[in-house]
């Protein structure tokens, strides 16, 4: 989430027009406000250039299709608007939040009659976690809140409804730790509050499948590819709670968080933090960013 960006420097764009943050407003009858009926993407930019924008816009398109929402702008139009905002930002690196809501409608749940969709973009500097926590490794708990079942809501849809994740984050706040890890209904690891999760154990880098509730993370896909290129064996499969805690290394990945090592889970110290696999992949990911946003 945004940190250390003066409000007057935060960039806002709504329905095709740039505006001051104080003027960026939606109707209280928008179904995105009333019911969380909408989709979003979080995108990074470095050196005034967006990272993996095409991949994010493709996921946005698929999310829109998944909730039967018509996008009022083409992929090219959104890309052009985002790149233009990045180029004119007063800060060279930061976070882009792209949101599409269903639009205004009646108070009932029925989406018929809603619209047109509202689209807005926010650019701000980003600080997901304290720098010292990232360097030393973050502390986590396994939340009592369970990940929403994939049979209820497709985890590949990046919707505005994040109450499940927020409840888990509140658990982490009450426990005085940096982050929470969510299990699914089967008791297997799904993801962290806003990140995918990886473990390294028995010589393999393992991450849960989307069928276990994991978001189809774009950074996750990049890490899997970089690991393969580095000769690190990768596996996508279920991870039990006991296997998680016994892992040699644990780290999180996400657009906002980038890569973050985990030091503690439920008070148990992880064997290596930051471990050699994490350090290698962090270096590869930093190089990847430089190549993409030079």
d(CA 123, CA 90): 10
Query: What is the per-residue pLDDT for 131?
Result: 79
What share of the chain in percent tops pLDDT 70? 96
Q: What's the CA gap between 43 and 38, in Å, rounded?
A: 17
pLDDT at 2 over 50: no
Coil vs helix vs strand at 194: coil
Q: CA 218, CA 22: separation in Å to the nearest integer?
A: 32
Q: Tell me the β-bridge partners of 14.
A: 17, 120
The active-site residue out of 49, 136, 158, 271 is 158
C-alpha 115/C-alpha 239 separation (Å) is 42
Q: Cβ atoms within 10 A of the Cβ of 6, count? A: 10
pLDDT value at residue 180: 98
- What φ, ψ does residue 277 adopt, rounded to 5°? -70, -45
Give yes or no for a cis peptide into 201 (omega within 30° of 0): no
Phi-psi region of 109 (alpha: psi -120 to 50; beta: other; left: phi over 0): alpha
pLDDT, position 1: 36
Model confidence over 54-110: pLDDT tens digits? 999 999 999 999 999 999 999 999 999 999 999 999 999 999 999 999 999 999 999
pLDDT tier at 38, thresholds 50, 70, 90 = very high
Give yes or no: 158 in active site.
Answer: yes
Q: Kindly state the average pLDDT of the residues 174-194.
A: 97
Residue 182, SS3? Answer: strand
Q: Does pLDDT of 4 surpass 70?
A: no
Predicted confidence (pLDDT) at residue 176 exceeds the cutoff of 90 = yes
Residues 6+ apart with CB under 8 A from 223: 198, 253, 259, 281, 285
What's the rounded mean pLDDT across residues 117-140? 87
Q: Which domains does the chain have, with CATH numbers?
A: 7-124 (3.30.470.10), 131-292 (3.20.10.10)
Q: Looking at residue 130, what is its pLDDT?
A: 73
The predicted-structure confidence for 245-289, as pLDDT tens digits, reads as follows 999 999 999 999 999 999 999 999 999 999 999 999 999 999 999
Mean pLDDT of the chain: 94
Residue 145 has pLDDT above 50, yes or no: yes
The residue-averaged pLDDT of 155-179 equals 96
pTM above 0.85, yes or no: yes
Tell me what the mean pLDDT of segment 212-231 comes to.
Answer: 97
């Amino acid at each position: 989430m945004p940190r250390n960006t003066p409000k007057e420097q935060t960039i806002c764009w709504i329905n095709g027009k740039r505006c001051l943050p104080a003027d960026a407003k939606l109707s209280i009858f928008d179904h995105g406000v009333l019911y969380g009926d909408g989709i979003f993407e979080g995108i990074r930019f470095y050196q005034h250039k967006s990272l993996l924008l095409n991949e994010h816009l493709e996921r946005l398109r698929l999310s829109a299709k998944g909730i039967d929402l018509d996008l009022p702008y083409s992929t090219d139009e959104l890309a052009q608007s985002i790149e233009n905002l990045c180029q004119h930002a007063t800060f060279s690196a930061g976070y882009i939040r792209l949101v599409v809501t269903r639009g205004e409608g009646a108070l009932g749940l029925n989406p018929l009659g809603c619209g047109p969709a509202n689209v807005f973009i926010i650019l701000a500097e980003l600080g997901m976690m304290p720098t010292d926590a990232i360097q030393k490794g973050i502390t986590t708990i396994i939340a009592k809140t369970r990940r929403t079942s994939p049979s209820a809501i497709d985890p590949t849809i990046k919707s505005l409804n994040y109450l499940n994740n927020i409840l888990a984050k509140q658990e982490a706040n009450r426990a005085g730790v940096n982050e929470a890890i969510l299990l699914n209904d089967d008791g297997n690891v799904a993801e962290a509050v806003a990140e995918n999760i990886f473990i390294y154990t028995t010589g393999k880098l393992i991450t849960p499948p989307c069928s276990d509730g994991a978001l189809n993370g774009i950074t996750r896909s990049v890490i899997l590819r970089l690991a393969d290129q580095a000769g690190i064996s990768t596996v996508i499969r279920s991870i039990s709670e006991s296997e998680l805690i016994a892992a040699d290394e644990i780290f999180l990945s996400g657009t906002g968080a980038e890569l973050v090592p985990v030091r503690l889970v439920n008070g148990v110290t992880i064997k290596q933090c930051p471990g050699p696999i994490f350090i290698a992949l962090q270096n590869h990911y930093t190089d990847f960013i430089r190549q993409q946003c030079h």
